[in-house]
Every structure is written in structure tokens, then in C-alpha cells.
Amino acid sequence: MAGYWQLVRFRTSLLFFALSATLPCWGASIAEGQTLDQAESSYRRGRFLRASREVDAALEAEALTRDDLVALMELRARVALALGDEERMRAAAVALAALDPQRELSVAIRPELRAAFEAARDEGGALAVVVDVERTATGATLTARAEHDPAELVRGLRVEARVGEGEWQSGEPTLELEVVDTEDLAYHAVAVGPGGARLAELGSAEAPQISAGRAPAPPIVVEAAPVVEPPSDDPFDLPLVVGLAVGGAVLIGVVIAIVAVVASSSGAPDDQRETAVGPPTIVVWSMP
């Protein structure tokens, strides 16, 4: 009989050992599976400590959207206020205002939380990502950085760029490229937060920002000066000789014509030389 009870105790011990070994894994799976809905349900039931733990667990999830993060920050602020933790409530309100400054809070929100949210919203704008572009004659350096992130939500920054229609290249948070200063450079960037949530974006692959290249210098046109030939000192300058020859020929022709007219007049008979004096006769030639 004693041996039987020893066997029972042994088997029971084995069972408890096996259960104790699996409990941590089971608890971990529950923690990893916490959702916003579960945290909201715990808050509504007045289980504020449990709701706080569930919110923290949800923020450690691996696949969050920006909307998820906004809702979790608002719930964190409400839970912290319910627990009397005003510092934690204000920190969550600051994060909420940076993520979504235009958010319309529910009418059920307590005045303390509303006042903290509005004060944080009035102090700054929405969380944003910007890219500093430095270009040289042969390259470019792009650096992404976050602006207005008082709650330090940003976990990573990534910038992507390409030259012309080339392949996209990425860097975190800095990217260096070889590019001629006359070529256009397209780029976009994103700020990533908890759970991989895309907190802020600048441009996109479909509609990127453009860093325009320097316009090429216009060609230099050199106009040749007109060539002015100095006056010639040669007494036998060809244009002058030709001009004198032509003028002389014309003069000789005129003299010969006069002599011919005079000779023809003096050789006519006397009776033909006597002419009546009268008015000159004008002969008009008409072209056929």
C-alpha cells in the first residue's frame, strides 16, 4: 500500500512540474496577444492596473498602425488619470497631440486630460519628418530627421532616393549618392514608431520630393570682330588703276564722238551748209 501512495505522489509531482514549465509560455502568449479592445474592456470594468499593463503590452506588438498608436496613447492617458498618475497622463497627452493634433476628444473625457491635450497641441505642431539635402559637384548626402517629437515616439528614420529614373536606394537615416550636380534627385522619407507604425511621411515613391539639378551653363559665344584693312600705300593699287582706266576710256570716247561730228559737218556741199535759221526742231523717238 505504501508503494502505491509513493507512486501517486511521484506522478502528481511530475504533473505539477510539467504545468509549472508550461505556465510561463502560456502567460507570455497571453501578454503578446493583448489588444486595444482588451485594454479598453478592462478600463471600462474599473480594472485600471490591468488595463495599464495591457496597454503597455499592446505597444510592444510587432504590427501597429498609426491609428492603433493614437488610440493606445489616448487610452494610456485615460488609464493614468484614473490611477491618479498625472505625470504619466500628461506624457501620454503630449504624445497624442504630436500624433494627431486635430483629434476630437470624446465628451466623456475628463477636463484634466482635455486641458493637458489642448495645452500640448498649442505648444507645437504635428510630428513630422524632414530631409536635409547637401549636394556637391559629384554627389549628394540626404539625412532624415524628426521634428516635434517631444514624447520621443520615433524609433527609426528611413530615406530613399534615386537619380533620374534609376533604382531606389535607401539609408537609415543618412544616404549618400553619386550624382552630377546638373541631374535631378528624387527622394522620400518615413519616421517609424512603436510596433513599426508609420508616424510621419515625406513624399512617396509615387510622388517624391525633387531636388532639382543645377541648370547647365549657357555656351559662350565669341563674335569675331570685323576685319578692317588699312589703306594701301601702293601707287598701283588695283581698284584705283581700274577706276582711272575706265574713266580715261570714257573720256576718249567722248572726244572721238565730237571730232566725228565736226568732221562730218565740214565735208558737206556749200549749198547744203546754208540752212535757214529757225527754231530748233525737237525730234521725239518713241519705242515700238
Give per-residue pLDDT as tens, 219-274. 666 666 666 666 655 555 556 555 666 666 666 766 676 766 666 655 545 544 44
pLDDT, residue 234, reads 54
pLDDT, residue 275, reads 46
**In a shared domain, residues 57 and 156:** no
> Among residues 181, 211, 241, which one ends one of the domains?
211
Q: Within a domain: residue 180?
A: yes
**pLDDT tens column, 33-60:** 457 889 999 999 999 999 999 999 998 8
Note whether 42 and 54 are within 8 A (CB).
yes
**In a shared domain, residues 15 and 94:** yes
- Among residues 100, 84, 86, the alpha carbon closest in space to that of 153 is found at 100
**In a shared domain, residues 106 and 151:** no
**In a shared domain, residues 17 and 119:** yes
Q: Within a domain: residue 47?
A: yes
Q: Give the number of other Cβ atoms within 10 Å of residue 80's Cβ.
A: 22
Q: What is the mean pLDDT of the chain?
A: 78
Show the cell assigned to 71.
488610440
> Among residues 72, 88, 123, which one ends one of the domains?
123
Q: What is the pTM of this model?
A: 0.61
**In a shared domain, residues 139 and 65:** no
Q: Give the domain extent around 83.
A: 9-123
Strand partners, 130: 145
Note whether 194 and 73 are within 8 A (CB).
no
Q: Within a domain: residue 259?
A: no
Show the cell assigned to 53.
499593463
**In a shared domain, residues 151 and 106:** no
Using alpha carbons, list the distances in angstroms from residue 110 to 88, 149, 275. 15, 25, 144
Using alpha carbons, list the distances in angstroms from residue 28 to 22, 24, 72, 120, 257. 10, 6, 20, 36, 136
Note whether 113 and 136 are within 8 A (CB).
no
27 pLDDT band (50/70/90 cuts)?
very low
115 pLDDT band (50/70/90 cuts)?
very high
Q: Within a domain: residue 139?
A: yes
Note whether 185 and 160 are within 8 A (CB).
no
Rg (CA), the chain: 53
pLDDT, residue 61, reads 84
| Cα 158 from Cα 166, distance rounded (Å) | 19
**In a shared domain, residues 88 and 155:** no
| Cα 153 from Cα 128, distance rounded (Å) | 11
Q: Within a domain: residue 177?
A: yes
Of the candidate ranges 83-92, 125-134, 184-193, 221-230, the one whose mean pLDDT is the lowest: 221-230
Residue 16 has pLDDT above 60, yes or no: no
**In a shared domain, residues 58 and 44:** yes
| Cα 193 from Cα 67, distance rounded (Å) | 12
Domain count, the chain: 2
Q: Within a domain: residue 135?
A: yes
- Among residues 57, 56, 6, 11, the alpha carbon closest in space to that of 31 is found at 57
**In a shared domain, residues 156 and 99:** no
**In a shared domain, residues 112 and 156:** no
- Among residues 78, 63, 135, 88, the alpha carbon closest in space to that of 109 is found at 78
pLDDT, residue 199, reads 95
